[in-house]
Chains A and B, each alone.
Chain A
Amino acid sequence: MKKRVLSMLLASAMVVSMLAGCGGAAGGGGKHLKILAETSNYANVDIKEAEIVKKVIADFGADVEWQLVDYNNYQDTVTPMLSAGQVDADIVLLPDQDANQTYIKSGLFTPLNKYFDSMPNFTKWLDANPVIKAEITAEDGNIYYVPGTNVGKDYQPCLMYNQVWLDKAGKTAPKTLDELVDLLKYYKDNDMNGNGDANDEIPMSIMADFLPYMFGPAFGLDLVSGFQADASGNVTYAYADSANYKKYLEFLNGLYKDGLLEQEYTSIDRDKVIERISNDLTGVAYDFSWAMSMMYSNVLPYYDGTAATAFVGAAPLSGDKEGFYVGRVELGNMFAISANSKNAEYAAKFLDYAMSDACQELYQWGIEGESYVVNADGTRSFTEKGQDNDWLQQFGINPSFVFPAQQSVASTDVLVADWHAKSNAELRQYVVDPWPFIYATSDETDTINTYMTDIETKVNESATAFITGTRPMTEFDAYIGELDSLHLPDVTAIRKQQYDRYLKALNG
């Protein structure tokens, strides 16, 4: 009797679970999907349990099995997996943007074009974004990846000044290199933090990687991208610009000799900059815009939430040339469907759903009433809970680790301090497009991989040597000759071919 009751119970449980599996599938089917993606960059966030992520899956009706790899090790872990062909997932977040079409050519992923009839949201989005469509169309004419996007012109790396120090010095944010040098000298000679010691101020705290961002444009150089194209489509390597790059190095060498660029500038990291700012020891910084209010200003001992007591963004510096900031390629995380997937069409529908406007709103704002409210005038604002960044991250805001999320300026504006959003709006005008994302052919990849490491090694060590004076500037022409002997002309010719292809794809 007991056995019979038990078996009846088991049977009914199985029937109930089967029915539950069949129900509520917006995308149809409630099929099983394996997704290989990364964890949140916030250690205390379990992205698969985040409300926004769960809602997307529930609304679509899929049964998702997550394969989440640690955010910090994603590339190191997944690249060998893909290389060895050992990926057992329907949807895969790429460890990089596959600029050389390696994964595409290896047949790891299925072309999405054959599912375009089932992907109305994605195709509509592609039509609305011709630049991105041109960028991700592979050599064979197919599109393989569904990308998330970054904001390209907003919240980009920029100069930041300690407003309290500026006011104390009776100066405004420098607009030219000369004005910056004057300001740094003033900071060096005066007791800016008022602790009675005029020697503990470090006028400027810049990580070495940001020096090209900060000073390159004043000499007409996009050292961030390395390669740059002029209006007539000529492509040059900024680090081999014999006139302007030499002036750039001479300028930095001058800063170094005057003690305005510190001796150990090559080993400055963000933690060190934050430590100095929290001790009120430094007046000028350069970093990604988000650091302005979220990392730098908030550690200043006297920050009261206003621009008057913060590290505030300012216009780029001009020198011989008008200054600019270099924007970011809008392409973000790329999602692909494994060629081995037995649910490829279903996976395509899921990615398409994840690209829908409804989902993008979820990614950017969360759930109405929970993370945001709609105001009487139709605008949105984050709730009190939503303004707590930790809570918002745990809620799953901007889940670009697992879905093709598009960053939004509007939702970021609301998230950061008012003065920060205002500063971003003012700086947007200075941001120029970076070198575009362009797929490389196999031959191009071979040549670039063969020569570029040596070229970059030469560039990096020579820059440090010229700036610190261990190599005299009289050897600059020899440096240009060395780059030529490292096959720079071959690499530049390939970049030119790629740029021409990009223009052709862009202009139809």
Chain B
Amino acid sequence: MAKNKNKTAYVEKKLPLKKLIYRDRYLLYMMIPVVIFFAVFCYFPMTGLVMAFNRYRIGSGLAGVYNSPFVGLQWFRQFFQSVYFYRLVRNTFLLQFWSLIVGFPIPILFAVAVTQIRRKPVQKTVQVATYLPYFISTVVVCGMINNFLSPSGGIINQLLNRLGVQSINFMNLPEWFRRIYVISGSWQSFGFNSIIFVAAIMGISPDLYEAMRVDGANRRQIIWHLVLPSIKPTIILLLIMTLGSMMSVGFEKVYLLYNTAVYETADVIQTYVYRQGIGTSPPNYSFATAVGLFNSVINFAIVFVANRISRHVSDTAIW
């Protein structure tokens, strides 16, 4: 069989390109929409990064993206020289870092736990109940957070009062912002994020479970020696993908939750760019593009390093 495979591969190499194209034409037709999608929505817009190095002239349309006056690294300098640069990078990184530390393992643990439930109706109900928060819009979630944590009448403070603890003005204290952001984010997404792990666990061959049980393994041993190693590639893949957005905090949630009292821990690159680049009149699209490019470069670097480390440590890598 292996021999035949090699033979086929050998024959493919010998086929002229035209014939290869003709032979795989249907596959290539299927590729066309994907190529168009990436070309139009990913690669062509990428050429707009040139805006980060020019001063986009308002009213100059698409042509202005490319032929506005060149200003070199002015917008990068402006961003790096901002007195808030360090704080913005720190806040952006820490919000994502803690979201990763807290939010990443929970879906895995949940997926492992939920697949251990033997009664299917119970399993499905638990899964659906945990997916639901993911579909609540960010605005509503932020409204709920504000209401629950209000020092006058919020349910959390009412509970604290009953326990004899004084009300805490959660939303106005910088030290609480990250915790609120991270915990609420994990609550909202852990159910949905567990889907992919549940699918990976479901994909493990029942024969392997059977074999372990025959060998006398208990449930803990099955999880530790079969389930987790089986989904390790999925975990690593998703971890690397998540690391790719380490500097990309969801703008809306921070914007809806923060106020001047908590800028110290809550003001992130995206909210600053909104105030500096989009919120000004006229909007400074070039500045916003420069900061976006800076963010993307950092994200790419993190993914690149994480991928390398992963390849060395676990033999699993995206590329």
Contacts from A to B (Cβ < 8 Å): 79-80, 82-86, 96, 98-100, 102-103, 106-108, 262-264, 266-267, 445, 449-450, 452-454, 456-458, 460-461, 463-465, 468, 470, 482, 485-486
Contact = CB atoms under 8 A, between A and B. Distances in A.
B121 interface: no
28 contacts: A83-B58, A83-B282, A83-B285, A84-B59, A84-B62, A85-B64, A98-B281, A100-B281, A102-B281, A102-B282, A107-B59, A262-B152, A263-B169, A264-B150, A264-B151, A264-B171, A267-B150, A267-B172, A267-B259, A449-B280, A450-B78, A453-B272, A457-B272, A458-B83, A461-B263, A461-B264, A482-B83, A485-B83
B200 to A, nearest CB: 41
A99 B281 CA distance: 8
Contact of B59 (A106, A458, A461): A106
A263 B157 CA distance: 13
B82 interface: yes
Interface in B64-116: 64, 78, 82-84
Contacts of B161: none
Interface in B270-319: 272, 275-276, 279-285
Interface in B158-194: 167, 169, 171-172, 174
A449 B78 CA distance: 11
B231 to A, nearest CB: 42
B82 A463 contact: no
Which range holds the interface residue count of chain B?
A: 35 or more
A473 B259 CA distance: 21
Given A264-B151, A267-B146, A454 B82 contact: yes
B319 to A, nearest CB: 36
B169 to A, nearest CB: 5
A267 B151 CA distance: 11
Contacts of A84: 59, 61-62
B129 to A, nearest CB: 30
Contacts of B260: 266, 460-461, 463-464
A263 B167 contact: yes
A79 B172 contact: no
B275 A263 contact: no
A195 B276 CA distance: 49
Contacts of A264: 150-152, 169, 171-172
Interface string B222-242: 000000000000000000000
Given A103-B59, A449-B276, A486-B83, 20 more contacts: A82-B58, A83-B59, A84-B62, A99-B281, A100-B281, A102-B58, A102-B281, A106-B58, A106-B60, A264-B171, A266-B260, A267-B259, A449-B284, A454-B82, A456-B275, A457-B263, A461-B261, A464-B261, A468-B172, A468-B261
